[in-house]
Amino acid sequence: MNVHDHIIVPTLDPAAVEADPDQAVEDYAASLLTLPMDRSRPLWEFHFLDFPTSEASSTVVIRVHHSLGDGVSLITLLLASSRSAADPTRLPAMPKQPARAGAIYEPPAPPPSAGARALLAWAWSYFLLAWNTAVDVAFFAATIMFLRDPDTLFRGKDDGTVHRSRRFVHRSLSLDDIKFIKNAMNCTVNDVLVGVTSAALSRYYFRNSGDTNAAKICLRSLLPVNIRPPVGLQTYVNMIESGKSSKVVWGNQLGYIFLPVHLAMQCDPLAYVHKAKKTMDRKKSSLEVLCTYKTAEFFLKKFGLKAGALILGGM
């Protein structure tokens, strides 16, 4: 393997870089989507953009084929291969592993000394789990066969035209601000991010469509969920240093959930977060992600990649 085949330093338009370096990075990353990868060599590339932006002194765009591993594993492996700029002997700072050991949908069993009300609530949580799973699986099957979201700015009409135009865009947010809202509202970071996304889509929709009634508009996003157990950064470091990968689980283990996004103009911005928390709590009490994972795995094994792509394309 020739490493120079995978290290790319592109030559960009100096005028475009000087005018708006952030936009130049975004345009270059978007252009990579239109270029096929060279299958005669390992499918990974590092693109170095050596000019300052508003957020960094330089930028590296990493392009890796999904067949080499899932995004979480690849990012963690990359971090395990790097070191802190302030202290070359130290690994990059990483968040702590979640304290939760069981599945997110598995309610903790009450202690033996708990009263009848606690035991009843525990049993009721499993009834809700079964009910929510049945409803979600039914909607999943209906979506594959006939159920569609309404025609909006975000989804064109079903006229047989396939729109494949895609683009990477990004917006940096303060994690401290997100955590402040999370702590104040007793929710999770994901709840806040879903609420922010809902607010952004709502404002974009009303600003560009002129519609004033969104009572019946509910979009659904298809979100991939990693169902593999989390692996710590140190595990990857040990793998690199020892040359053994027996403890590292590679490959994709992704299930999917349909996350509804309600378009509405709220006077209180925190109302979006309240709605997102309610939706996410409902999704956490469901086995939808496991059912969709098993369904996708079955279709891929029995009917091949084209059948799996057809199913995802119809959602």
Q: How far is CA 243 from CA 238, 240, 311, in A?
A: 8, 5, 39
The confidence score (pLDDT) of residue 47 equals 93
- Catalytic positions are 66
Residue reference for tokens 């700072």: 93
What does DSSP say about strands 218-226 and 59-64: parallel, antiparallel, or unpaired? unpaired
User: Which residues in the chain show pLDDT less than 50?
Assistant: 160-162
CB atoms within 10 A of CB 95: 7
Contact 141, 308 (CB under 8 A): no
The confidence score (pLDDT) of residue 95 equals 62
d(CA 59, CA 51): 7
Domain boundaries, the chain: 3-68, 119-161+168-313
Tokens at 20, concatenated = 């708006």
The confidence score (pLDDT) of residue 141 equals 84
d(CA 108, CA 111): 9
Residue reference for tokens 């064109």: 156
Positions of E strands within the chain: 7-8, 44-49, 59-64, 218-226, 254-262
Contact 58, 49 (CB under 8 A): yes
Question: Residues 6 or more apart from 125 whose CB is under 8 A from it?
Answer: 107, 285
DSSP, collapsed to helix, strand or coil, labels residue 306 as helix
Phi/psi at 230 (5° precision): -65, 140
The confidence score (pLDDT) of residue 65 equals 84
The confidence score (pLDDT) of residue 295 equals 83
Contact 252, 315 (CB under 8 A): no
Chain length of the chain: 315
3-state secondary structure 3-42: HHHCEECCCCCHHHHHHCHHHHHHHHHHHHHHCCCCCCCC
Tell how many helices (H) and how many strands (E) occur in the chain.
10, 5
The confidence score (pLDDT) of residue 122 equals 76
Contact 195, 58 (CB under 8 A): no
d(CA 305, CA 14): 42
SS3 percent helix, strand, coil of the chain, rounded to 5, is 45, 10, 40
- DSSP labels, 222-244: EEEEE-SPP--HHHHHHHHHHT-
The confidence score (pLDDT) of residue 277 equals 92
